[in-house]
Structure 1
Amino acid sequence: MTNLDSFYNLLNINMPVIYFLYGLTFFTSGIVILVQYRQSSPFSFNKDLWLLSLFGIFHGLSEWGYLFIPLQQAYFEQNIIFSMYVVRSFFSAFSFIVLLSFGLRVLAITRLKSLDEVISYGFFAAWFGFSLVNLRYGDMHSLLLGDTVTHYFLGMTSIFITSLALFRQAKYGHKHLAAPDILRSEQALAISFFFYAFFEGIIVSQQDFFPANLINSSWFFHITKLPVQLFRTLCGIFILYYTLNLMGAFQRATDNLFLQAKEEALRLAERERISRDLHDGVLQTLYAAELMIESCQYKLGPTSPVQAEMQRSITTLDVAMHDLRSYIMGIKNEAIYHQPLSLMFKNIIDEFQNSYKITVDFNCLTDPNLQLAPNRQDHLYHIITELFNNVAKHAKAQHVAMHVKDHRHQLYISFTDDGIGLPKECLDPAGCNGLGMRHIHERVLILQGAISFDLPLQGGTLVVLAIPLV
């Protein structure tokens, strides 16, 4: 007997161990993700990891069923054993459904409310309907047939979609973050799921229909002399390893963001103190000095030879106080970028309505404490300010409506006015020569968002802006 034959015999003898490790890998992965899961994470990807945790737990339990249910045959009647296999099949299908939901959320192929749940429920309903019809025969053959269909219909679909979503997330999801470890972990996790889709969703048990009659676990063992469960276990280990790497990378990035936020808060508090001291101290002193010079002018009379020099001093003081007020406003404007979005929008609107006789209907459905990172909030501030400036300068409008909401880690803003409407050439970014419009599109691009301009039939201009919250 050769060493290779000894190895094959060792694998065959220890198949229960492989099944146990296979289930253990995914079950452990689900528990670890659940323990480390943080709903408060600023990263949208992290907020959906609870679905990946559910997949790991239920998939691990379903795979353990192949190991532990046969051990119960000596103690329970056949109908009870059959019911155990039915529950195992349900666990397997449910694990793939939650993985499909996770993949659809990360992929974000649509922004319609709860559409990914509708798709997931639709897949589950189709599988459930097939299972009811299939299980009426009540034998193990029908169970194996249903298990194969589950792997094809749910397993392969959900795992491939998750792999695609992770590839897309690695390419587009974190461009604004200088975090190569996140990028590498997402790419490696995507590759792991891709191979797992092949071994779990394509290499199935042998059946009488295509392609399971040609490409199946028996064919795979004949080609490789290795059980497919071994490769599934290896994929599971890689998925566990790179998921932990990814969560660690996100945690480090989150800690850096919180540290930056803390530093920004301290810097902002110091700038606020400086602006208050300048206003209450230096500015008031300059104003008092101007009043004293004016008082001297009055006492000396208009014929005094120093009147002209004193007037120049007053003018110089006026310029100095104007510059100082501008510096103070510059310091205070920076505070806008650290305010909740709803308050920032309200401040912009209040200033706009105080400057122009244009009414604004404002509706904000976001979390009252929702904020963006300071640099991203800065870009959003200038986008909204420029939209209001365009209304004031060009639209000849009497009313503006601004509606804000957040959904699925995206911020949506609709902005309409009842003015004369945007020139048609400005509906296309390439056709508009205005500097302000060009800056709007540049800032939206930096935010990795999307903006559209339209001319409603009732007149005016409709602007729709969508940007990721992280």
Structure 2
Amino acid sequence: MIVEPTDLSMDIFLILFIYGLVFFTLGLVVLVYSRRSSRLELARSLKWLAAFGLLHGLNEWSELFLLTFAGQLEPSTAMLLEDLELLLLAISFACLLQFGISLVNPFVRKNWLNLLPAMICLSLLMYFFWLNPGTAGDYMAWHSQGVALARYSIGLPGALLAAYGLRRQAESRVKPLNVPTIYNMLRIAGLGLAFYGLFAGLIVPPVGFFPGSWLNTASFHQVVGLPVIVFRSAVGVILLVTIIRALEIFDVETDRLIESMEQQQILAAERERISRDLHDGAIQKAYTAGLLVESALRLMDPQSLATERLQPAVNLIQDTILDLRQNLIELHPAPTMERLSELLQQLSEEPRFRGLFTIQTSLDLQSGEPGGALRLNQIMAITNEALSNVARHARASKVLISATTQDGQFRLLIDDNGTGLDENARLGIGIRNMRDRARLLNGKLDLVNISPHGTRVQLTMPLIEEDA
């Protein structure tokens, strides 16, 4: 049991409960964020911080349980619970050390470091539970030694390494994103972890070896006047607040992904407008001008000076028309693959969408697939617009893209589990563009709400392109 008898003069029961609650809450919140897809390296390390918070909270609550029912437990039961407490403490600190290593490893790239926390933890537990098990006569001294060594060998380096890793991530990964609040929160969290390492990893129960023989919970209480658990709880609260605020970086990342997709949609719409203007305006006018000049040339003497002057103008107009048509082609690049199933599968794996929701595909195209570069461009543009709408408005976590061919018809369904359509809302430009593209494909686009919640975008069109 880590708490000294002198500590019981305060309401140590309440402090232990708050201490455990702070770290358990930290673990739960971080666990929720760790399940989100992200391209930030910090996201891949959060599972270890979540495990540390949950296990450390359980460790403190187990100590609270032992203090509460100390006089009612059988000695063997109390010893078993003390063993469990030591086990939770060592494993929680191993998770903290693993968190620190995972934060630093992208910069040092030493794969063997990933095995270090498990090796230290297993070695410590094997020594105390197998090679040097405690007995009833010296159990409390044995337990104090186990707690002290766990804090010295795992807790202290784990907290300090995690503190350094957080500040390194803040400087190299978060600062360039220009989010000063989150950047500062990460730096404060790193500083809090450093102080936690000192209070939780350096100040141990009284033991018979240095430095625990003179710097321990009893001597700290005697000098400072407060038990060290008060300071650990205060640092825990700072960690909880700052890390939760720092986790907003994933919301910022999501907002910027959505903003990037909106910009891409705006650029696509602008390219579409420019291409229409070029085709219906500039090219047609240049073509008409060329016809007028050619008709004038036919009325002139082929050997005249006017004919000699106008013939280069005709060639220049024809070159201009070729350049304009080349610009049209560049505004609408052809797909890099010919099969629609490959394009849809590639789209479902794009990182810009995977960071927002999970995309699954169900493609039954054994009867054939729509072909033609222009048709594939239109279908993929509709699919892109539908996914962008899900990202911007639906608040969905899953999207299913299914495609089938039957009776000469191709049907594309894009279902999400989001909030659904507002029947009173006005349709935006994106949806109108999707319907215009569907008409160009001689098809139809429908948007409906699905049960229990979500939206379906359905494109139905002929499988084979119909002649104009």
TM-score of the pair, normalised by structure 1: 0.63
SS state at 2:212 partner: coil
Q: Secondary structure at the match of 1:137?
A: coil
Task: Tell me which residue corresponds to 2:272.
Answer: 273
1:190 aligns with 2:187: no
Q: 353, 369, 379: which one pairs with 2:350?
A: 369
Aligned to 1:32: 29
Could you tell me how far apart the structure 2 residues matched to 1:275 and 1:116 are? Answer: 55
After superposition, where does 1:177-216 map in structure 2 within 5 Å?
177-216=177-216
Aligned to 1:22: 19
Aligned partner letter, 1:19: L
CA distance in 2, matches of 1:111, 1:42: 19
What is the rounded CA distance, in whole Å, between the counterparts of 1:10 and 1:200 in structure 2? 16
Range that drifts further, 194-203 or 9-18 = 9-18
1:72 and 1:81 in contact (8 A); partners too: no
Q: 1:109 and 1:32, CA in 2 relative to 1: closer, same or farther beyond 3 A? A: closer
Q: Distance in 1 between matches of 2:93 and 2:294?
A: 82
The Cα RMSD (Å) is 3.4
In structure 2, the CA distance between the partners of 1:370 and 1:175, relative to structure 1 (3 Å rule), is same
2:9 alignment counterpart:
12
Extract unaligned runs of 5+ from structure 2.
Answer: 1-5, 338-345, 354-468
2:412 corresponds to: none
**Residue 43, structure 1, aligned to residue 40, structure 2:** yes
Does the CA contact (< 8 Å) of 1:275 and 1:332 recur in 2? no
2:232 is equivalent to residue 235 of structure 1:
no
Map of 2:159 onto structure 1: 159
2:49 is aligned with 1:68: no
Q: What's the counterpart of residue 121 of structure 1?
A: 118
Q: Is the 8 A contact 1:271 1:331 kept in 2?
A: no
* Superposition pairs of residues 22-421 of structure 1, within 5 angstroms: 22-109=19-106, 112=109, 115-133=112-130, 135-138=132-135, 139-251=139-251, 253-278=252-277, 280-282=279-281, 284-285=283-284, 286-287=286-287, 289-290=289-290, 293-294=293-294, 297=297, 302-318=302-318, 320-321=320-321, 324=324, 368-370=349-351
Whole-Å separation in 2 of the counterparts to 1:178 and 1:169 = 14
**C-alpha distance in 2 between matches for 1:78 and 1:132:** 18
Tell me, yes or no, if the aligned pair for 1:82 and 1:140 is still in contact at 8 Å: no
Counterpart-to-counterpart distance in 1, 2:294 and 2:175 = 59
Residues 108 and 279 (structure 1), Cα distance of their counterparts in 2 relative to 1, 3 Å cut: farther
Change in Cα spacing, 1:10 to 1:98, as seen in structure 2 (3 Å) is: closer
> Matched residues in 1 for 2:158 and 2:52: separation?
11
Report the alpha carbon displacement of residue 269 of structure 1 after superposing the two structures with TM: 2.0
Q: In the TM superposition, what whole-angstrom CA distance separates every residue of 1:313-350 from its partner, at most 9, and x where no partner exists?
A: 224325534654675577568x9xxx9xxx7xx9xxxx
Question: In structure 1, the residue corresponding to 2:351 is in which secondary structure?
Answer: coil
**Closer, same or farther in 2 for the Cα pair 1:115/1:290, shift >3 Å?**
farther
CA contact (8 A) 1:39 1:47 kept: no
CA separation in 1, counterparts of 2:278 and 2:110? 49
Residue 307 of structure 1 and its aligned partner are, at CA, apart by 2.0
In structure 1, distance between residues paired with 2:116 and 2:35: 26
Distance change in 2, residues 1:213/1:10 (3 Å) = closer
Return 171-180 or 157-166, whichever deviates more.
171-180
One-letter code aligned to 1:307: T
Whether the 8 Å CA contact 2:7–2:227 is kept in 1: the answer is no
CA contact (8 A) 1:134 1:142 kept: no
Letter in 2 for 1:256: D
Which secondary structure does the structure 2 equivalent of 1:187 belong to? Answer: helix
In structure 2, C-alpha distance between the alignment counterparts of 1:302 and 1:154, rounded to whole Å: 96
Are 1:134 and 1:146, in contact at CA under 8 Å, matched by a contact in 2?
Answer: no
| Counterpart Cα distance in 1 of 2:278 and 2:227 | 78
Amino acid at match of 2:237: I
Q: 1:308 to 1:118 in 2, by over 3 A?
A: farther
**C-alpha separation in 2, matches of 1:205 and 1:318:** 91
Which residue of structure 2 aligns with residue 404 of structure 1?
Answer: none
Aligned counterparts of 1:278 and 1:123: Cα–Cα separation in 2: 69
Q: Secondary structure at the match of 2:247?
A: helix
Q: Which runs of 5+ in 1 are unaligned?
A: 1-8, 347-364, 373-470
Equivalent residues of 1:192, 1:235 under 8 A apart: yes
Give the superposition deviation at 1:246: 0.9
The Cα offsets for residues 165-189 of structure 1, whole Å up to 9 and x where unpaired, read as 1111122222431110111101110
Q: Give the whole-Å Cα distance in 1 for the aligned partners of 2:8 and 2:250.
A: 38
CA contact (8 A) 2:58 2:88 kept: yes
Distance 1:309 1:38 in 2: 72
Query: Aligned residue pairs: how many?
Result: 337
Distance 1:11 1:70 in 2: 10
Amino acid at match of 1:235: V
**AA aligned opposite 2:26:** S
Kept in 1, the 8 Å contact 2:27–2:52? The answer is: yes
